[in-house]
């Protein structure tokens, strides 16, 4: 018997996130928000305690511009904090890294090493590397950092999933790689999956899936296979979203896209097509339209759909294509979108317009690119545009947002007959919310999270 106080919702789901990079972050030292060099070094020292002498220390998020003394740090300080271990700490922007002497030695970088093409090894007045490497020189070090062991990966994933449960999520749909799928299977066997996971495989693994006869829906209520994820274009942030005005980068050309959809349909595998720019979205719809309504199991999705030409809004419903969107992106991207897409920004992140045009919505976060917090996503979808005075007509109502995070997400992965509603015969997955906070998360009738009060 579980006593629940607050509003009881069907269990929240996230239709698009990436568990692997979330887990990887946990395996390293979190330096985001470190207030000074000393703060940074203290965090490294804590991580180093008890580690074997030769173990690598990974980390990310330091940002010397936020420190009282914004000078770049030195390997000597890191050598002491890491106890002589190899250490590789990526700066917040990802364009440089701070490494220890042992890491430099393992990578074969010394006084005589020339800068790699497209990269810089910072040096002191005597010509010795300082421990700061930039751009392509970061990759030289990254190559020698060992991949996490299976045990590390399992630990990182289990802790990530526990945190997702704490945020109120009962089920997530992840875009990852085979290695993470193996880890998820180990967690499933060991009873260490607190919430349900649907795994989408990368396009690169389609040939293997075809050979195996793998189909959408294989697995069980805790861990199952769904679609094949393929990229049609890049992103807004890197200016590679493929737009109708001719800008951006097509990552997958049309002939190959059509062929990919045909192969997936023949193999009983769904597709999840990453398309951010309006041209990429249009190409995805062009490829999916001829397959519309052919099979009951067919649930093609367009991931992100951040910029959709108004002419294409009704095509989602007509072609039975799910708009798998992440409302929180709008909050982060607003300024960039206004700058990069001035002519079309009034049609971007158009959840409300797509819904009115009859599209089925599935909401998620794209974590770790954005926060996985579904309440933040709900707020972005329902209230934020009004507050921010940014095309408030494209918002959705609370009921619509809740549907997109529950039954809509379930539909987008073929689970709508048993997940996403509070009805007899459905899995007992609940998210309990009071005063705008998650107070309990229930999966399969068991509380996997309860707040203290
Ligand atoms: Zn993503």
Instruction: Give me the pLDDT at residue 432, please.
Output: 97
| Residue that is written with structure tokens 């490294």 in the block | 44
Query: From the CA of 364, how far away is ligand 1's center (Å)?
Result: 9
The predicted model gives 350-376 an average pLDDT of 96
Q: Band of the pLDDT at 232, cuts 50, 70, 90? A: very high
Q: Find the range with the poorest average confidence among 25-34, 221-230, 260-269, 325-334.
A: 25-34
Residues 102 and 169 in one domain: no
Flag whether 84 is in a domain: yes
Residues 186 and 138 in one domain: no
Q: Band of the pLDDT at 5, cuts 50, 70, 90? A: confident
> What pLDDT digit, counting tens, does each position of 50-97 carry?
889 999 999 988 989 889 999 999 999 999 999 999 999 999 878 899
The predicted model gives 152-179 an average pLDDT of 96
Overall size of the chain counted in residues:
453
Query: From the CA of 231, how far away is ligand 1's center (Å)?
Result: 10
- Is residue 304 within 8 A of residue 348, CB to CB? The reply is no
Residues 99 and 180 in one domain: no
Query: From the CA of 175, how far away is ligand 1's center (Å)?
Result: 7
Structure-derived torsion over alpha carbons of residues 155, 157, 160, 162, reported in degrees to the nearest 10: -70
Residues 113 and 73 in one domain: yes
Of 126, 142, 158, which marks where a domain is finished?
142
Instruction: Give me the pLDDT at residue 236, please.
Output: 87
Both tokens of residue 412? 């987008």
User: Looking only at Cα atoms, what is the longest distance across the chain?
Assistant: 74
- Residues paired with residue 450 on neighbouring β-strands, in sequence order: 440
Flag whether 310 is in a domain: yes
Flag whether 6 is in a domain: no
Instruction: Give me the pLDDT at residue 453, please.
Output: 63
Instruction: Give me the pLDDT at residue 238, please.
Output: 79
Of 142, 160, 181, which marks where a domain is finished?
142
Q: Return the CATH number at 127.
A: 3.10.310.70
Examine the pLDDT at 3 and tell me if it is beyond 70: no
Q: Return the CATH number at 237.
A: 3.20.20.140
Residues 367 and 307 in one domain: yes
Query: From the CA of 86, how far away is ligand 1's center (Å)?
Result: 31
Task: Residue 198: name the closest of 179, 210, 216, 213 by CA.
Answer: 216
Flag whether 17 is in a domain: no
The predicted model gives 215-239 an average pLDDT of 94
Instruction: Give me the pLDDT at residue 1, please.
Output: 55
Range of the domain at 292: 150-443
Residues 103 and 162 in one domain: no
Instruction: Give me the pLDDT at residue 2, please.
Output: 60
Both tokens of residue 157? 């994933």
Q: In sequence order, what are the residues at sequence separation of 6 or more whose Cβ sits closer than 8 angstroms to the Cβ of residue 350?
A: 308, 313, 394
Query: From the CA of 367, how far away is ligand 1's center (Å)?
Result: 7
Name the packing angle between helices 19-27 and 178-189 (round to 10°).
80
Examine the pLDDT at 434 and tell me if it is beyond 80: yes
Query: From the CA of 102, how far away is ligand 1's center (Å)?
Result: 35
Structure-derived torsion over alpha carbons of residues 35, 36, 38, 44, reported in degrees to the nearest 10: 60
Query: From the CA of 55, how far away is ligand 1's center (Å)?
Result: 31
How many CA atoms does the CB half-sphere of 303 hold within 13 Å? Answer: 27
Flag whether 9 is in a domain: no
Q: Band of the pLDDT at 443, cuts 50, 70, 90? A: very high
Residues 95 and 194 in one domain: no
**Alpha-carbon span 135 to 122, nearest angstrom:** 11
Instruction: Give me the pLDDT at residue 294, please.
Output: 86
Of 109, 142, 175, which marks where a domain is finished?
142
Flag whether 157 is in a domain: yes
The overall average pLDDT reported for the chain is 95
The predicted model gives 127-153 an average pLDDT of 94
> What pLDDT digit, counting tens, does each position of 175-207 carry?
999 999 999 999 999 999 999 999 999 999 999
Q: Band of the pLDDT at 22, cuts 50, 70, 90? A: very high
Query: From the CA of 16, how far away is ligand 1's center (Å)?
Result: 6
**Alpha-carbon span 264 to 261, nearest angstrom:** 5
Supply the pTM of this predicted model. 0.88
Query: From the CA of 302, how far away is ligand 1's center (Å)?
Result: 11
Residues 132 and 197 in one domain: no
The predicted model gives 355-376 an average pLDDT of 96
Query: From the CA of 297, how far away is ligand 1's center (Å)?
Result: 23
Instruction: Give me the pLDDT at residue 306, please.
Output: 97
The predicted model gives 418-429 an average pLDDT of 97
Examine the pLDDT at 32 and tell me if it is beyond 90: no
Give all strands of the β-sheet with 360-363 in edge-to-edge order.
12-17, 169-175, 196-202, 223-231, 270-275, 301-304, 322-325, 360-363
Instruction: Give me the pLDDT at residue 93, please.
Output: 79
Q: Band of the pLDDT at 407, cuts 50, 70, 90? A: very high
Flag whether 83 is in a domain: yes
- Count of domains for the chain: 2
- Residues paired with residue 381 on neighbouring β-strands, in sequence order: none
Query: From the CA of 326, how far away is ligand 1's center (Å)?
Result: 9
Flag whether 326 is in a domain: yes
Residues 94 and 236 in one domain: no
The predicted model gives 263-292 an average pLDDT of 97
Residues 265 and 332 in one domain: yes
The predicted model gives 275-288 an average pLDDT of 98
Q: Where are the beta strands (DSSP E) in 47-157?
A: 57-62, 87-91, 96-99, 119-123, 129-135
Residues 288 and 228 in one domain: yes
Residues 245 and 374 in one domain: yes
């Amino acid at each position: 018997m579980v006593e629940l106080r607050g509003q009881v919702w069907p269990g929240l789901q996230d239709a698009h996130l990436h568990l692997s990079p979330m887990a990887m972050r946990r395996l390293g030292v979190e330096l985001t928000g470190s207030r000074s060099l000393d703060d940074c070094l203290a965090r490294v020292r804590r991580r180093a305690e008890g580690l074997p002498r030769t173990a690598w220390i990974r980390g990310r998020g330091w940002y010397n511009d936020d420190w009282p003394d914004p000078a770049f740090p030195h390997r000597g300080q890191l050598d002491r904090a890491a106890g002589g271990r190899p250490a590789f700490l990526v700066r917040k922007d990802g364009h440089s890294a701070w490494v220890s002497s042992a890491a430099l030695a393992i990578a074969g970088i010394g006084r005589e090493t020339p800068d790699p093409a497209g990269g810089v090894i910072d040096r002191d007045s005597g010509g010795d590397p300082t421990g700061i490497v930039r751009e392509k020189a970061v990759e030289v070090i990254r190559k020698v950092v060992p991949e996490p062991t299976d045990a590390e990966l399992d630990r990182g994933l289990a802790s990530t999933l526990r945190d997702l449960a704490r945020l109120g999520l009962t089920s997530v749909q992840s875009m990852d790689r085979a290695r993470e799928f193996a880890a998820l299977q180990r967690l499933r066997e060991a009873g260490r999956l607190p919430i349900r996971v649907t795994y989408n495989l990368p396009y690169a693994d389609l040939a293997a899936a075809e050979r195996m006869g793998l189909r959408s829906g294989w697995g069980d209520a805790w861990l199952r296979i769904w679609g094949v994820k393929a990229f049609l274009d890049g992103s807004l942030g890197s200016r590679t979203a493929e737009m109708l005005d001719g800008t951006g980068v097509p990552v997958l050309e049309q002939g190959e896209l059509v062929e990919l959809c045909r192969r997936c349909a023949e193999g009983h595998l769904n597709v999840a097509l990453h398309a951010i720019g309006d041209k990429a979205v249009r190409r995805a719809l062009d490829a999916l339209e001829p397959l519309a309504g052919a099979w009951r199991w067919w649930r093609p999705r367009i991931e992100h759909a951040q910029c959709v030409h108004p002419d294409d809004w009704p095509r989602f419903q007509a072609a039975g294509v799910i708009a798998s969107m992440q409302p929180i992106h709008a909050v982060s991207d607003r300024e960039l979108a206004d700058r990069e897409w001035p002519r079309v920004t009034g049609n971007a992140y158009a959840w409300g317009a797509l819904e009115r045009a009859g599209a089925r919505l599935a909401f998620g976060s794209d974590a770790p690119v954005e926060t996985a917090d579904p309440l933040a996503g709900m707020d972005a979808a329902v209230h934020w545009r009004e507050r921010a005075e940014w095309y408030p007509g494209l918002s959705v109502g609370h009921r619509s947002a809740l549907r997109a995070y529950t039954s809509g997400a379930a539909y987008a992965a073929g689970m709508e007959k048993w997940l996403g509603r509070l009805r007899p015969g459905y899995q007992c997955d609940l998210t309990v919310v009071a005063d705008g906070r998650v107070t309990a998360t229930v999966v399969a009738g068991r509380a996997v999270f309860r707040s203290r009060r």
